[in-house]
A and B are shown apart, each in its own frame.
Chain A
Amino acid sequence: MGAEFVALSLTPILIGVCVSVACALPGNFLLLRRQALIGDAISHVVLPGIVVAFLLTGTVRTGPMLLGAAGAAVLAVIAIEAIRRLGRIESGAAMGVVFTAMFAGGVLLLERSDTSSVHLDVEHALYGNLESLIWLDATGWGSLIDATALAGLPVELPRMALALLVVGAFIALFWRPLALSTFDEGFARGLGLRTGPLGLALVVVSAIAAVAAFDAVGSIIVIAMFICPPAAARMMTNRLGHQVAWSMLFAALAAIIGYVLAGYGPLWIGASASVSAAGMIATVSGIILAVAAIAGPHRTRGS
């Protein structure tokens, strides 16, 4: 626990915490708006976006990947709205159709294109590679104040921290109108609030979190974190502010406990290999939700 921990475990855990909290924050509002599937949808449609970006540019550099993912997310939102309006189909079903179709298209594209030279495959898209985001330049806790060592930080950490900052700033700044329009959109519009652009901004911010997270951790964590921590938090309190605070705590706990369990858990029970950190983090968030559903103080409404 020292030099080895800082070099091998600290950065993946921090990235996991940033991802989890960045997704859980907007997840609270998406869940209360009964739009929780949006997070699911965005994290799936990212795949065809980055495959197309790779085919067009021939690289897996961050810029083109993020652009491709963002483009796919925008396309998906438009397609969902179009299907919902033109087909008069309930929005959950419209999302289901769009994101499964786009994800499947991404898988086909990936199979048919030559990606053997780069790290881009379906497994990576689902589970990411959190364990490989290590900090080789670190020699111990002192490296945290060592400029040369800091320069060697995996790029995913500052990128994810920035995404968390953007999400957090949006939620903090627009807290009041978000709460108002989520609870009572008609009243909010009567006050002159532009609820349409606000709802769209919430989806865009969720997309920023999902797209930034995708490369580092894959879509499994993203989907889990949009829903599990907020849903568990709802059963702990009857106040929105407290719910969001609980959801951040649960998200961070899931990331830390999940990462540690994935890395050391199998060793504790005598197995030799560790398991997927992303999978374990998502599993832990599910367990937290289950515990909250069994023992949370506000499981039934009006109590």
Chain B
Amino acid sequence: MSLQNIHLVTDEAVAQAEAERTASPLAVRNLTVSYGQTPAIFSVDLTVRAGAMTAIVGPNGAGKSTLLKAALDVIKPLAGTVTVFGEPLAAMRDRIAYVPQRASVDWDFPTRVIDVVLMGLYRQLGLLGRVRSKHRAAAMGALDRVGMTDFATRQIGQLSGGQQQRVFLARALAQDADVYVLDEPFAGVDAATERAIIAVLKDLRDTGRTVLAVHHDLATVPDYFDDVVLLNTQVIAAGPVDDVFTEDNLQAAYGGRLTTARVDPESVAG
């Protein structure tokens, strides 16, 4: 191969990566976040594939939640750029729905289930817009998809962990976004809720939406997801589950803990 050809190949690869990023529902470049001295995530490049379900997995403290939060500007990164379908995030907020960790909020807050779901319509309602029947219908429809219509007027403190997670998902569904970003959607939920949530997420994917979720149960990754990102402060590997979810890559991401992880997936939760 001549020198000139190498240049051509490189240019082509760069152009292709650029094109993938532009088409991607969520692409981050060189994303770095630090709490104090040590980086939580370092120079993360990630191009989420449109219409796929992608899992982010990695050991405790790998920066999985941090990556999601920084990608959505929930926390300020030290460096890095984020694009949504090739546009800056700020202009594309309506296309993204975020489901934070259930444990990140105070469930004693004085509010009802339906009011939480209506929060998903904030960008439509604005500061003072009236909640009309179409908004209520949208919220009830979202609750219906997660099997929670009977709980609409319940105080949120009365819900079980699984029901709380369903309400959080319903709030995101009410946003009717193109990209769903979920932080540990299966953490501490019952088996029925896990089945219900995965059914909703697969339905989203099958209707052309993109799903990106932090996930801690290695055993279910191949069943639930199309793509996987192995993260340990940096991206260890990313791509289709069949190519990337290998013994070697997992060893690289989890280090010595992998053997434990294979015996008991719960021990690497987080």
Q: Which B residues, 105 to 147, have Cβ-Cβ distances below 8 Å to chain A? A: 105-106, 108-112, 115-116, 119, 122-123, 125-128
User: Which of B73, B74, B119, B127 lies in contact with A183, CB distance below 8 A?
Assistant: B119
Asked if A180 lies at the interface with its beta carbon under 8 angstroms from chain B, I say: yes
Q: How many A-B residue pairs have CB under 8 A?
A: 82
Q: Which of A173, A182, A191 has the most CB of B within 10 A?
A: A191
A32 to B157, CA, bound (A): 14
Residue of A nearest to B90 (CB): A192
B-chain residues with CB within 8 Å of residue A240 when the two chains form the complex: 109-111, 115
- B96 at interface, CB cutoff 8 A: yes
Nearest CB in chain A: distance from B185 CB, A: 14
Check if A301 is an interface residue, CB within 8 A of chain B. yes
A190 touching B72, Cβ below 8 Å: yes
- Interface residue tally for chain A (C-beta within 8 Å): 27
Which of B72, B104, B110, B123 is in CB contact (< 8 Å) with A238? B110
A264 within 8 A of B: no
Residue A123 is within 8 A (CB to CB) of chain B in the complex:
no
Q: Which of B74, B110, B111, B128 has the most CB of A within 10 A?
A: B110
Is the contact region of chain A dominated by helix, strand, or loop, or is it mixed? helix
A183 and B157: CB pair below 8 A? Answer: no
Complex Cα spacing A180 to B118, Å: 10
CA distance A54 to B49 in the complex (A): 65
Interface residues of A in 224-246 (CB under 8 A from B): 234, 237-240, 242-243
CB-defined contacts of B181 to chain A, threshold 8 Å: 190
- Would you list 16 pairs from A and B whose C-beta atoms are within 8 A, ordered by A residue? A176-B127, A183-B111, A184-B119, A186-B74, A187-B119, A187-B171, A189-B73, A189-B74, A190-B74, A190-B100, A191-B98, A192-B90, A193-B122, A240-B109, A302-B155, A302-B158
Additional A-B contact list (9), CB under 8 Å, known A176-B126, A238-B111: A183-B116, A186-B98, A186-B105, A187-B171, A190-B100, A191-B98, A191-B122, A191-B123, A239-B111
Write the residues of chain B forming the contact surface with A, with a CB cutoff of 8 angstroms: 69, 72-74, 90, 93, 96, 98, 100-101, 104-106, 108-112, 115-116, 119, 122-123, 125-128, 155, 157-158, 171, 181
